[in-house]
Amino acid sequence: MNMQSIPIIASDVRERMSSAGDSSHDWWHVYRVWQTARRIASEENADAFVVELAALLHDIADWKFHDGDETVGPRVAGEILATHGVGTDVIAHVQEIIATISFKGAGVATPMRTIEGACVQDADRLDAIGAVGIARCFAYGGFKGRLLYDPDVSPETHADKDAYRKNNSHSINHFYEKLLLLKDRMNTETAKKIAIDRHGFMEAYLERFYKEWEGIK
């Protein structure tokens, strides 16, 4: 298997994710992560084949939609790649990336072992910030039935992944509990540069949000 197989696998992933009920974790999220990961991999001299496969499959069976089971994603990804004839070493690498990519709370470190993993994690995190990140935040909040904002409920610093995953606060708190933390958690120099502008956009958005909330603007 080589890079020529990527479009075939992408088509497979798109078909499998066509019925996703949450627009913040659908095929188009995967598409954006895939494209950003390609860009980062090129600039960081990473293995493009591994990066593209991991980006395409990173959300194929997200734990958020499988009762918190973190083993489903790597397993399903491995099954798909094996069906397409991908070698066992590459499959193992992709599965490792998928298993370790997720944000698990403000107080939890999530280091990536390889540059390929770093590229995919950065691409996934970049899609969580900036203009698209804001849209995804509110789309997911709506999907989960969360309030937009409640000024009486303060954000929390989650010390472990269980506390983070049990959290059901309003969408604005998610900016402080995750999104605004991501700029300083990028792995690659390429992603760090991209994140600065996207982070600034979120800060400007929040400033405007609070003014409109109080009727100032």
* pLDDT by 10s per residue, the chain, length 217: 678 889 999 999 999 888 766 888 899 999 999 999 999 999 999 999 999 999 999 999 765 655 656 788 899 999 999 999 999 999 999 999 999 998 877 667 778 999 999 999 999 999 999 999 999 999 999 998 999 999 999 998 876 666 666 677 899 999 999 999 999 999 999 999 999 999 999 999 999 999 999 999 8
Tokens of 136: 């995804």
Question: How many whole angstroms separate alpha carbon 1 and alpha carbon 47?
Answer: 14
pTM of the model: 0.92
Tokens of 82: 């094996």
C-alpha distances (whole Å) from 113 to each of 96, 97, 107, 116, 117 are: 9, 8, 19, 8, 7
Question: How many whole angstroms separate alpha carbon 163 and alpha carbon 160?
Answer: 6
Q: Does domain 3-213 have CATH number 1.10.3210.50?
A: yes
List the one residue out of 129, 120, 124, 127 whose CA is nearest residue 41.
120
